[in-house]
Structure 1
Amino acid sequence: MLLRKNVFLLKHNTIILTITKKRKKIYSTLFCDKQKYTITIKENVPPGTFLLSINAIDSDEGVNGEIEYSLRSKFRGLASDPFELDRKTGKLTVKGNLDYEEKQVYELKVLASDKGAVSLSTHCNVVIRVVDENDNHPKIDITSISSRIPEDAPPGTVVALIRVTDLDSGVNGQVACSVPSHLPFDLKPSPDGQSYSIVTKNYLDKETMHMYNITITVKDLGSPALSSTKVIHVTVTDVNDNRPVFKRICAQLRYSVPEEVQVGSTIGNVAKDLSLDISTLRSRRFRIVSGPNHALFHLNQNNGVLYVGQIMDRETLCDGTKVCLMNLKIVVENPLEIHYIGVEITDVNDHAPTFPESEQRLEIGENTPLGTRFQIHAARDPDFGTQSVRLYKLTSNDIFDIEVSDSEEDKVPFIVLKKSLDREKKAEHRLSLTATDGGNPSKSGSLNLTITVIDANDNRPVFSKDVYTVSLDENASIGTTVIHVISVKATDLDEGSNGDVEYFFGDEISPILNDMFSIDKDTGEIRVKGEIDFEKTNVYKLDVHARDKGQPPIHTDCRVIIKIRDENDNKPKIEVTSLSKTVSESSTLGTVVSLISITDQDAGLNGKVICSISGDVPFDLKPSFQDNMYSVVVKEHLDRESVSHYDVIIKATDCGQPPLSTFKTLSIDVADVNDNRPDFLNNPTEIYLFENNVPGNPIFSVSASDKDLNENAALTYHIFREEHRYQKIFQVVATDSGTPSLSNNVTVNVFILDQNDNAPVILYPLSSNAKHHKTFKSAHIYFGHSKREMQEQAMFYKLNN
Structure 2
Amino acid sequence: MEAREGKKCIQRQRQVPIFFVLLGIALAGSESRRYSVAEESESGSFVDNLLRDLGLEIEELAVRGPRVISKGKKMSLQLDRQTGDLLLNEKLDREGLCGPTDPCVLPFQVLLENPLQFFQAELQIRDINDHSPVFIDKEIILKISESITPGTTFLIERAQDLDVGSNSLQNYTISPNFYFHLKLQDSPQGLLPQLVLDKALDREEQPEIRLTLTALDGGTPPRSGTALVVIEVLDINDNAPEFTQLLYEVQVPENCPVGSQVATVSARDLDIGTYGQISYAFSQASEDIRKTFQINANSGELLLKQKLDYESVQTYTVNIQAIDGGGLSESCVVFIQVMDLNDNPPELTMSTLINQIPENLQETVIAVFSVSDSDSGDNGKTVCSIQDDLPFFLKPSVENFYTLVTNTALDRETRSEYSITITVTDLGTPRLKTQHNITVQVSDVNDNAPTFTQTSYTLWVPENNSPALHIGTISATDRDSGTNAQVTYSLLLPPPRDPHPGLASLVSINADTGQLFALRALDYETLRAFEFRVGAADRGSPALSSEALVRVRVLDANDNAPFVLYPPHNASAPCGPFPGPLGDVSGTGTLSHSYRYEVCLMGGSSGTSDFKFLKPIVPNNLIQDT
TM-score by length of 2: 0.51
Partner SS state of residue 53, structure 1: coil
User: What is the letter of the counterpart of residue 543 of structure 2?
Assistant: L
Q: CA deviation at 1:480?
A: 3.4
Q: CA deviation at 1:642?
A: 1.1
- Structure 2 residue aligned with 1:610: 383
Pairwise mapping of residues 129-528 of structure 1 onto structure 2 (< 5 A)?
224=235, 456-458=236-238, 460-463=240-243, 468-482=248-262, 486-492=263-269, 497-506=274-283, 510=287, 514=290, 516-528=292-304
- Structure 2 residue aligned with 1:592: 365
Q: CA deviation at 1:503?
A: 0.6
Whether 1:637 aligns to 2:438 is: no
Q: Tell me, yes or no, if the aligned pair for 2:166 and 2:217 is still in contact at 8 Å.
A: no
User: What is the letter of the counterpart of residue 743 of structure 1?
Assistant: L
Q: Deviations over 1:602-648 (max 9, x none)?
A: 33222322221233111112233233x43322122211111223232
- Structure 1 residue aligned with 2:75: none
Counterpart among 539, 545, 552 of residue 744 in structure 1:
545
Q: Tell me, yes or no, if the aligned pair for 2:361 and 2:408 is still in contact at 8 Å.
A: no
Partner SS state of residue 484, structure 2: helix
User: What is the letter of the counterpart of residue 131 of structure 2?
Assistant: F
Greater Rg over alpha carbons, structure: 1
Whether 1:711 aligns to 2:483 is: yes
Measured in 2, the distance between the counterparts of 1:83 and 1:39 equals 19
Whether 1:566 aligns to 2:340 is: yes
Counterpart among 172, 178, 182 of residue 82 in structure 1:
182
Q: CA deviation at 1:131?
A: 5.8
Q: Tell me, yes or no, if the aligned pair for 2:345 and 2:426 is still in contact at 8 Å.
A: yes
Counterpart among 352, 371, 392 of residue 619 in structure 1:
392
Larger CA deviation: 459-468 vs 473-482: 459-468
Q: CA deviation at 1:524?
A: 1.8
Q: CA deviation at 1:571?
A: 3.9
Q: CA deviation at 1:499?
A: 4.6
Q: Tell me, yes or no, if the aligned pair for 2:444 and 2:480 is still in contact at 8 Å.
A: yes
Q: CA deviation at 1:458?
A: 5.0
Measured in 2, the distance between the counterparts of 1:663 and 1:128 equals 54
Partner SS state of residue 297, structure 2: coil
- The percent of aligned pairs where both chains have the same amino acid is 28
Q: CA deviation at 1:32?
A: 2.5
Measured in 2, the distance between the counterparts of 1:557 and 1:616 equals 65
Change (3 A) 1:599 1:24: closer
Partner SS state of residue 583, structure 1: strand
**Cα RMSD (Å) of the superposition?**
4.8
Q: Tell me, yes or no, if the aligned pair for 2:211 and 2:229 is still in contact at 8 Å.
A: yes
User: What is the letter of the counterpart of residue 162 of structure 2?
Assistant: A
TM-score by length of 1: 0.41
Q: Deviations over 1:132-174 (max 9, x none)?
A: 777xxxxxxxxxxxxxxxxxxxxxxxxxxxxxxxxxxxxxxxx
Q: CA deviation at 1:49?
A: 1.0
Q: CA deviation at 1:713?
A: 0.3
Whether 1:55 aligns to 2:161 is: yes
Counterpart among 422, 427, 441 of residue 655 in structure 1:
427
Measured in 1, the distance between the counterparts of 2:231 and 2:414 equals 94
Q: Tell me, yes or no, if the aligned pair for 1:71 and 1:110 is still in contact at 8 Å.
A: yes
Q: Tell me, yes or no, if the aligned pair for 2:211 and 2:230 is still in contact at 8 Å.
A: no
Q: Deviations over 1:531-587 (max 9, x none)?
A: 44445654444332221111xx12344443322212234444556565434333234
Whether 1:99 aligns to 2:198 is: yes
Partner SS state of residue 123, structure 1: coil
User: What is the letter of the counterpart of residue 254 of structure 2?
Assistant: E
Measured in 2, the distance between the counterparts of 1:48 and 1:678 equals 98
Measured in 2, the distance between the counterparts of 1:75 and 1:16 equals 65
User: What is the letter of the counterpart of residue 475 of structure 1?
Assistant: N
User: What is the letter of the counterpart of residue 562 of structure 1?
Assistant: I
Change (3 A) 1:693 1:563: same
Q: Deviations over 1:742-797 (max 9, x none)?
A: 221326577999x9xxxxxxxxxxxxxxxxxxxxxxxxxxxxxxxxxxxxxxxxxx
- Structure 2 residue aligned with 1:673: 445
Partner SS state of residue 539, structure 2: coil
Q: CA deviation at 1:89?
A: 4.3
Q: CA deviation at 1:70?
A: 2.3
Measured in 2, the distance between the counterparts of 1:66 and 1:579 equals 46
Partner SS state of residue 319, structure 2: strand
Q: CA deviation at 1:706?
A: 1.0
Measured in 1, the distance between the counterparts of 2:372 and 2:153 equals 48
Partner SS state of residue 439, structure 2: strand
Q: Tell me, yes or no, if the aligned pair for 2:237 and 2:275 is still in contact at 8 Å.
A: yes
Q: Tell me, yes or no, if the aligned pair for 2:315 and 2:337 is still in contact at 8 Å.
A: yes
Q: Tell me, yes or no, if the aligned pair for 2:391 and 2:408 is still in contact at 8 Å.
A: yes
Counterpart among 194, 202, 222 of residue 123 in structure 1:
222
Partner SS state of residue 429, structure 2: coil
User: What is the letter of the counterpart of residue 479 of structure 2?
Assistant: K
Where relative contact order (Cα < 8 A, 6+ residues apart) is larger, the structure is: 2
Measured in 2, the distance between the counterparts of 1:517 and 1:128 equals 24
Aligned length: 399
Measured in 2, the distance between the counterparts of 1:130 and 1:745 equals 101
Structure 2's unaligned 5+ residue stretches are: 1-112, 145-149, 202-208, 502-530, 557-626
Q: CA deviation at 1:656?
A: 1.9
Q: Deviations over 1:71-108 (max 9, x none)?
A: 38799999x993336587455331x6243799996775
